[in-house]
Chain A
Amino acid sequence: MWQVREGVIASVLQVRPVPDAALSIDEQLNRLISDHERALYNFLLALVRDPEVALDCAQDTFLRAYENLRKNRPVNAPWLFKVARNRAMDEFRRGSKFRPESDPTDAVQVHEPTDRNLAVRQAFSELSPSDREVLYLFDVAGFKTDEIGQMLGVRGSAIRQRLSRARVRLRQAYGVEP
């Protein structure tokens, strides 16, 4: 079932540190999974909206991380999100069957968010993947715009512009004029 967590940003920021290189590769991988699996999985879920596809993407992301660890390359949260995001984009390109728009009322009945929050989340789910990813990475995952720019391979200024436009579109989507 849905579990609402209010302090998502704090939890994501908590799991930023790079795995200790003194640990074995398996231990580093286990630590990576423990620290990032939830944020990564929910990020993928927000993008692809299909639990199975999100699970596959998360698995591939951690396997890529494992290969990187074996090659003594650093693995951190931005790298994981970047790989996960690219993997999700691959799924979009393949035209995978994604679950239809998630119905936020499922969560409403359990957690009873305010009407405003419900409207925002409904509008969020109707945005384009590009807008969703930048809004999610900034507001939910807690990354800075420069970090998101590094993930997506663009400048931070470009991300700031995208973020501003995404907010405008989100506001339009839930019925408020920009």
Chain B
Amino acid sequence: MSAHDRFQEMMARRRELSADEKQKLETHLGACSDCTVRAEAYAAQSAALRTIPQEPVPGALRARVLAATRERQVQGRRRLHLFPALSASAAALLVAAISVFAWSHRPQGGNQAVIPPASTPRATSPAAPHPVSRHHVSGRHHTPTKKGKATSPGGTPSQSRASGPSFTVAGGPVPTHPPGLPQNSGTADSSFPTAAAVTSALLGHRPAGSQPRHPAAPAVNGPPQIAGPPHPTAAPRPPSAPVAPPSTPSGPPTGSAPTATPPATPGTPMAAASLPATPTPTAPATIAAPSVTTTP
């Protein structure tokens, strides 16, 4: 910045110059006519700008500001009043959610008490659950066992879990709600459907020869449930389907319960043996059941 520019800048802000700066500027202005003209022009600018009319402030400004502040105060108070209620309701919702979650996981532990008795016939039965479905079942229940929620009556939790869902149906609820029946497939009670669905899925994947795993089925609604295999998937071997259920050692559900000591582990090799016989059906038994009832 040249000396001329520096003086030009000083002229632009002449009002705030210090005494020393003012003296320097005056000295320069005495020697430079151009800067003198410019200084006069800048002074005239400042004077003219100070005549810019100052409009009166609309009276609404203060009223609007104060109204807005009052509104904010009210909003703040409302928030303070709402906070306890909101926090209490949030806590209640949280407790409810936790209890629902805990309750939804609780019945599985309760069903396991029924599992061992029902597992006997299937363990002894030549047919074992389809490997795919068995893996599916065990896979589903691996997560709870990892969390330590599973309390298996005997053997490893995964083993009991693998046979759990199917046997709960076989041992306990089957007499009243046969899973193969059409009315139960869709509209079962709240705790039943999951076990019924798994069981029927296992049955649906099973060929005709594997029926004995449901010994209790013939007691109440035996024919329809046993007839599950006759479903198109089991069509190639119709004669074996009716024969298989009677061959099972236990008839009524009461008989099947106490002799459940043999774990499901023996059934695993059996399942592998029966694997080739399965025609690899994919439709769940719940869907296959209605067609079964029509076959007779």
Contacts and interface: CB of A to CB of B under 8 A. Distances in A.
Contact of A140 (B12, B44, B52, B66): B52
A89 interface: no
A162 to B, nearest CB: 9
A4 B53 contact: yes
A139 B51 CA distance: 10
Contacts of B88: none
Given A26-B69, A63-B69, A161-B9, A37 B49 contact: no
B62 interface: yes
A167 interface: yes
A160 B13 contact: yes
A38 B9 contact: no
Contacts of B9: 160-161, 163-164
Interface stretch (A14-22, A75-83, A92-100, A112-120): A112-120
A26 B12 CA distance: 40
A136 B58 CA distance: 21
B147 interface: no
B46 interface: yes
B81 interface: no
Nearest to A171: B41
Interface residues of B, number: 35
B226 to A, nearest CB: 77
Contacts of A59: 61, 64-65, 68
Contacts of A42: 52, 54-55
B65 to A, nearest CB: 4
Given A3-B55, A3-B56, A164-B8, A8 B68 contact: no
A176 interface: yes
Interface string B266-291: 00000000000000000000000000
A46 B50 CA distance: 12
A6 B51 contact: yes
B49 A140 contact: yes
A45 B9 CA distance: 27
A45 B54 CA distance: 9
A40 to B, nearest CB: 8
Contacts of A3: 53-56
B45 A139 contact: yes
B31 interface: no
A152 interface: no
B60 interface: yes
B48 A117 contact: yes
A63 B41 CA distance: 40
A42 B45 CA distance: 18
A151 interface: no
Contacts of B5: 164
A9 B50 contact: yes
Given A55-B61, A145-B16, A167 B42 contact: yes
B140 to A, nearest CB: 55
A163 B61 contact: no
Nearest to A25: B69
Given A55-B58, A171-B42, 8 more contacts: A41-B58, A41-B61, A55-B61, A59-B68, A111-B51, A121-B51, A135-B45, A139-B45
20 contacts: A3-B53, A8-B54, A9-B50, A26-B66, A42-B52, A58-B57, A62-B61, A62-B65, A63-B65, A66-B69, A117-B47, A117-B51, A136-B49, A139-B45, A144-B16, A160-B9, A160-B12, A160-B13, A167-B45, A171-B41
